[in-house]
């Protein structure tokens, strides 16, 4: 009999309420800053795959939008991505904060309770919790999801993340290598550009502005030493366009500078970035616009 190790592969989907650290966890698992992460809720809008390949395994992670009760069509599309992730997973990573109570969408939580898919419940941000609070959380979640394995982690501080990868490797089945070993994500370079620009908008503007924004890369041309990018920032109202641009274009220039610097790190190449701001009224509630933007 051969001692050769069998190759294992599987799909691992990350779900949880907004702002519990799913995207931070994804980046730590991948050891790459693959998805945007901010302190603001609803940073993640799309389902984004991260592909982690080792000598004898390939784990395909999916970061998903935060679970919520949809208030408009964009949020409905975001929840569709979450519901899909409950169907096609070999393992579900359910991320919660210490002290958190259930998901913000009761139907999704009920599906979690009934699923036969293995669940690893991750008690995140343990670096901010006392031992007593941690023990209370373990008891609380064990009662609600008795089949789930509970693992305390800190995604930000990289506590128990390697242990989590080992646990996933033990669960996923034998299977083929679905993606080339050097591929990190299923998303295009243009998508990465869109998300980096949107992250800088989330960090630089307040209130409703970041949630009214969509970014589309219209031109991405890569030469030997330079990537030239033109991207359009869409808002819902004329007043929002003025806020995005700012006095004498200063606000937009700041976003462009920060995004360019981030993209140069990611692509390891000089980047020329040109931004335009356009109005597409109430795009978050219009099916045609959402389709155009990839939802």
Report the binding-site residues for GTP.
16-23, 63-67, 124-127
Q: Which residue has the tokens 């964009």?
A: 74
Could you list the residues known to form a binding site, using ranges: 16-23, 63-67, 124-127
């Amino acid at each position: 009999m051969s001692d050769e190790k069998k190759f294992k592969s599987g799909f691992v989907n990350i779900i949880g309420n907004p702002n519990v650290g799913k995207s931070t966890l994804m980046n730590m698992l991948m050891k790459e800053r693959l998805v945007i992460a901010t302190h603001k809720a609803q940073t993640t809008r799309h389902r984004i795959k991260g592909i982690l390949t080792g000598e004898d395994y390939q784990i395909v992670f999916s970061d998903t939008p935060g679970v919520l009760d949809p208030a408009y069509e964009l949020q409905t599309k975001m929840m569709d991505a979450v519901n899909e992730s409950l169907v096609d997973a070999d393992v579900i990573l359910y991320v919660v904060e210490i002290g958190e109570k259930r998901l913000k969408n009761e139907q999704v939580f009920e599906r979690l309770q009934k699923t036969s898919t293995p669940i690893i419940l991750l008690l995140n941000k343990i670096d901010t919790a006392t031992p007593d609070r941690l023990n209370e959380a373990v008891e609380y979640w064990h009662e609600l999801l008795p089949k789930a394995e509970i693992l305390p982690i800190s995604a930000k501080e990289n506590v128990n993340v390697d242990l989590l990868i080992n646990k996933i490797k033990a669960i996923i089945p034998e299977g083929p290598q679905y993606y080339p070993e050097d591929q990190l994500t299923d998303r295009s370079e243009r998508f990465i550009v869109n998300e980096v620009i949107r992250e800088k908008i989330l960090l630089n503007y307040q209130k409703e502005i970041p949630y009214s924004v969509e970014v589309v890369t219209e031109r991405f041309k890569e030469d030997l030493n330079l990537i030239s990018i033109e991207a359009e920032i869409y808002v819902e109202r004329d007043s929002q366009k003025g806020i995005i641009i700012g006095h004498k274009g200063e606000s937009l220039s700041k976003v462009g500078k920060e995004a360019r610097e981030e993209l140069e790190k990611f692509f390891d190449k000089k980047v020329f970035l040109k931004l335009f701001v356009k109005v597409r009224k109430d795009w978050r509630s219009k099916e045609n616009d959402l389709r155009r933007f990839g939802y």
